[in-house]
Amino acid sequence: MASPELLNRSLQAYARNELHEARLLCREQLAANPNDVEAHVLMGAIRARLGNVEGAIKVLYRALELNPNSVEALVSLSTISFNLRQFEAALAHAQAAAELQPKDPAVLQHFARQLEATGHQLEAASVLQRIAELQPDDVAVLERLAHCLRESRREIDALAVLRRIATLRPDDLAARLKLGQLEMAHGKFDEALSSGREAIRIAPQSATAHLLVALALAESERGDEAEPYLLRAAKLDSNEPMAQAALGFWFQERGRFNEAKARLERAISLNPNHGFAYYNLFRAKKAGGSDRHTLAKMRVKADDPALPIRDRSYLHYALGKAHEDLNEYGEAIRHYDAGNRLAYDLWLADRPWDREAYSAGFSRTIDVFSRDCFDELRPTSNSSELPLIIVGMIRSGTSLLEQILSSHPDIAGAGELPYWHQHEPETLDPNGRPREDLLPGIAEGYLQKLRSLAPEARRVTDKLPHNYAMLGLIHTVLPNCRIVHMTRNPADNCLSVYTTAYQRPPVFAHDRSNIVFAYREYQRIMSHWRQVLPPDRFIEIEYESLITDREPVVRRLLEFCGLPWDDACLQHESNTRAVRTPSLWQVRQPIYGTSIERWRRFEDWIPEFTALVGEER
């Protein structure tokens, strides 16, 4: 006779792993009550454990015939289907169970695990978010949620989750490091610095924590403060390849190339697949015949799909540079193409560039910032002549120009400051017009930043190239600051954009047609600035003239800046300031002309760029 006691005895035997006893008792229960849904579900579980998968599926489907809303039957069928690699059926059953019990954490956990295991990370994140709302302090769920969000390229959302974990577990080193590393990846250097220092508090002997602090300081233009942390990281763990590679990169920035080479080679010896180390090693040297053996090994690694995409991309860029040095341009462009494809997949594939919005933003800027606008807002402006703004398309020679100018004793180089990009959104109203009440504070904040970097300088350069998009705001706020526009042969410029590996690529990078579109938008807005900016505050310099006829160009620039001539400007390679751009090796060398007309060596393979030859710069 059917009874709850009989079913309970069967459940207890199942829990003790006495499966044959459990099966006999469950069979007795079903014989007495053939419509007992719970007994059918239990029999399904017993049969599955005994290896009778077909029988398990049969009895579970019978349970669903008796009760289509049996969550237990759906979960069991989902598990069995998954083990049979019938993933579509497994997900369908798990989803049905989750829809029936949308507030049951265990059922949602099962669905999330199935989604994660089948590569549906974004959908898994959605389910995990529902669990986190039900159990807001469950760190294990939050860690899985952060992982799925990162895998889905939803890194801003992942940041919020990681911050929640850090709040719940303030002494969790792994959580703090993950947070800081993601903050670094998104340019939140002050936050990353804070996370790194917290990580050092938690684990004073952590090499990774010291490395995080060092990188955050370096990105915040506080390189001198970064050095002891880098050295400490390398000392704490001399076998940590990233610490060695980062230290090598840091030495490169300061022109200490022999020390850099030793550190980068050490990183490669610790991790033979370290693409970042290979890339930096080859971009700071001219490859020769003696490198052939190394290049052959690098090619094998670059084509290995088992390696991380980032390492493979860097390896291809390094190979492209090496084969270009060897005058093997067809092989070089093949590797540059491969490096760009991988980098695009890594950084940009899941966030396609909106050309229409990009162009519309420039159109709005052109409409707003007219001469009348400048005159109207003049009373709110600051009269300082301290800033020296250097702009141009990326890879147009702005780093070289800053290195030459900052060799002058009265000019300090601040590098690429993100100030205007950070403050533009709050400074402009919804129509793109400057908010008058905010302009004095924005100007003073910028000047304080420059003074903190160079208290004694008469001029401080800021050479973030894309500031060309914000010259209207900059001139409105600081009408006496001087603006230098660096121009370069369009084909050479775009080729250089394409053949450069970036740690944080611009939105148009890694795709030839996007690069060309971005270049033409840059040309459009620069044409506008030529018409509306006063000539005593705006000057244009050709990269090629700076290379081939430096002294008269630099004399004209210094006169424009209101400064006397100084011979140090002809020996920029002796300038010891840090250079934090892809041009860090070139700007340490004497002036050379191999970058002029470089496009001709690749002419057969780059029709998109050669079509730009002869166009207005």
CATH number at 377 reads 3.40.50.300
Strands of 387-391's sheet, edge to edge?
A: 411-413, 459-462, 387-391, 482-487, 538-542
Residues 487/396, Cβ–Cβ less than 8 Å: yes
d(CA 191, CA 187): 9
d(CA 15, CA 12): 5
CATH number at 241 reads 1.25.40.10
Residues 229/211, Cβ–Cβ less than 8 Å: yes
d(CA 342, CA 82): 32
d(CA 49, CA 355): 56
- Averaged over successive runs of 10 residues, the pLDDT of the chain (617 residues) comes to 73 84 85 86 82 85 85 85 86 90 90 90 92 92 92 86 94 94 85 95 95 88 83 91 90 87 95 96 93 96 94 97 98 98 86 92 96 90 95 96 96 93 93 93 96 96 97 97 97 97 90 97 98 97 95 97 95 62 49 84 97 80
Q: Which of 15, 7, 12, 19 is nearest to 50 (CA)?
A: 19
d(CA 343, CA 349): 9
Phi, psi angle pair for 320, to nearest 5°: -60, -45
Question: Which pLDDT value is given to residue 494?
Answer: 97
Burial profile 415-453: b = 16 or more Cβ within 10 angstroms, e = fewer: bbbbbbeebbeebbeeebbbeeebbeebbeebbebbeeb
End-to-end CA distance of the chain: 92
d(CA 217, CA 219): 5
Q: Which of 498, 578, 502 is nearest to 227 (CA)?
A: 578
d(CA 290, CA 303): 22
d(CA 27, CA 281): 71
Residues 327/291, Cβ–Cβ less than 8 Å: no
Question: Which pLDDT value is given to residue 3?
Answer: 64
For residue 57, the enclosing domain spans 4-143
Q: Is residue 153 part of a domain?
A: no
Q: Are residues 400 and 535 in the same domain?
A: yes
Q: Are residues 23 and 70 in the same domain?
A: yes
Burial (CB < 10 A; 0-12, 13-18, 19+), residue 218, is buried
Q: Is residue 472 part of a domain?
A: yes
Q: Is residue 159 part of a domain?
A: no
Q: Is residue 173 part of a domain?
A: no
Question: Which pLDDT value is given to residue 592?
Answer: 64
Q: Are residues 227 and 368 in the same domain?
A: no
In sequence order, what are the beta bridge partners of 482? 388
Question: Which pLDDT value is given to residue 588?
Answer: 44
d(CA 247, CA 342): 25
Q: Is residue 174 part of a domain?
A: no
Q: Is residue 445 part of a domain?
A: yes
For residue 486, give the H/E element and its range: strand 482-487
Tokens representing 360 are 């519309």
Q: Is residue 267 part of a domain?
A: no
Q: Are residues 133 and 276 in the same domain?
A: no
Domain C-terminal end among 256, 284, 311? 256
Question: Which pLDDT value is given to residue 544?
Answer: 96
Q: Are residues 194 and 285 in the same domain?
A: no
- Helix residue ranges, H only, 303-433: 309-325, 329-347, 355-368, 371-376, 398-405, 419-427
Residues 55/24, Cβ–Cβ less than 8 Å: no
d(CA 314, CA 499): 11
Q: Are residues 117 and 191 in the same domain?
A: no
Tokens representing 372 are 């009348």
Q: Are residues 51 and 198 in the same domain?
A: no
Residues in the chain: 617
Domain C-terminal end among 143, 166, 196? 143
The number of angstroms, rounded, from the C-alpha of 191 to the middle of its chain's C-alpha atoms is 16
Count of beta carbons in the 10 Å neighbourhood of residue 160: 11
Q: Are residues 314 and 369 in the same domain?
A: no
Residues 492/596, Cβ–Cβ less than 8 Å: yes
Question: Which pLDDT value is given to residue 15?
Answer: 86
Q: Are residues 433 and 536 in the same domain?
A: yes
Q: Are residues 252 and 276 in the same domain?
A: no
Q: Are residues 75 and 19 in the same domain?
A: yes
Work out the angle between the directed axes of helices 87-100 and 71-83 (0-180°, nearest 10).
160
Q: Are residues 334 and 389 in the same domain?
A: no
Residues 586/546, Cβ–Cβ less than 8 Å: no
Q: How many structural domains is the chain composed of?
A: 4
Domain C-terminal end among 229, 256, 283? 256
- Nearest-5° Cα angle at 531, 529 to 535: 85
Q: Is the pTM higher than 0.85? A: no
Q: Is residue 204 part of a domain?
A: yes
Q: Which of 583, 218, 569, 223 is nearest to 411 (CA)?
A: 569
d(CA 329, CA 601): 7
DSSP-based three-state secondary structure for 387: strand
Q: What is the largest CA-CA distance in the chain?
A: 108
